[in-house]
Amino acid sequence: MKQTLLLGTAAVLVAAAAVAQLHITSLTRNGELAWTNPPVARGFYNIESADAPVGPWRSSSTVADLDWSSSNRLIAQVPLTNAQAYYRVAWERPDPVGVWDYRGYDSAGTLVVTGQLAIGSMTLQSSNPPVVYNVRGSWNLGYAGPSTNQLWWLGPQIPQNMLPTPGGTNLGGTVELHNATLRLVWPTNIYDINIQLLNTLLGPNTYTGIWVYATWVGPQGGPFGATRVTPPTDFNPTLLSEPKSERGETP
């Protein structure tokens, strides 16, 4: 029996305008699916499958494109059966809006801060590549490490170290769509002596990087990780094109 697989493409919506499409280039007989992506759509992709070209579509797997210096051609393995199947690839538009469980560590890997980050808004800053959005929100964190009186090095990551400024528990930052990075800073009303979440990668439900406390005597910091608590919003949803007409067949 032969299996016929119809390849699909996905268009992405940025600032209410469609940008270059993803392009599926091949599907081999052993289930190797390959596609190319435009420079403005790096990050994470969702491979979807269906029994008919009109759906309903179901998620098959998520693929990360994290090496932005390499080729824009990606490859993933899809399951093959004797039944007819259709595949398409969708770009996962970075969406940080929501509540995130946060865990911060010191440079030795000891857990020192826990709590939540809440990102409430995402507004367009620049529609030119790299497409950038401003984000705003708040934090609610506390010390979770070994008993000590020396907490200064954590900076305003915890309430004990908050300066008497009107910044409060507000945070701000930017998300770049083309490389799925989210940078957060608080307090938002001062340039230094603040907490910065840097080298950060925003996935569909994970957020990882390093936290840095910038001080006059030098930076302090360590790794952090966060997981999404609330589901992503429907802000600028990804648009999917009609399936392509090219086909691949396997015995």
Q: Cα(first)–Cα(last) distance of the chain, in Å?
A: 6
What is the pTM (predicted TM-score) of this model? 0.74
Question: pLDDT confidence of 106, banded at 50, 70, 90?
Answer: very high
149 with 162: CB under 8 angstroms? no
Any idea what the Cα angle at residue 122 is, between residues 14 and 205, rounded to 5°? 85
Tokens of 18: 């469609």
Indicate whether 31 pLDDT > 60.
yes
Query: Three-state SS for 120?
Result: strand
Q: Report d(CA 209, CA 163) in Å as an integer.
A: 25
pLDDT: which is higher, 133 or 202: 133
How far is CA 173 from each of CA 78, 109, 121, 219, rounded to the nearest angstrom?
A: 37, 25, 11, 19
Please write the tens of the pLDDT for every residue from 167-208. Answer: 568 899 999 877 788 999 988 777 667 899 987 878 888 899
pLDDT at residue 228, as a whole number: 93
**Where along the chain do its domains lie?**
3-93+236-250, 98-228
What are the distances in angstroms from CA 28 to CA 31, 76, 82, 154?
5, 11, 15, 52
Architecture of domain 98-228: Beta Barrel (2.40)
Residue type, 44: F
Per CATH, the number for 3-93+236-250 is 2.60.40
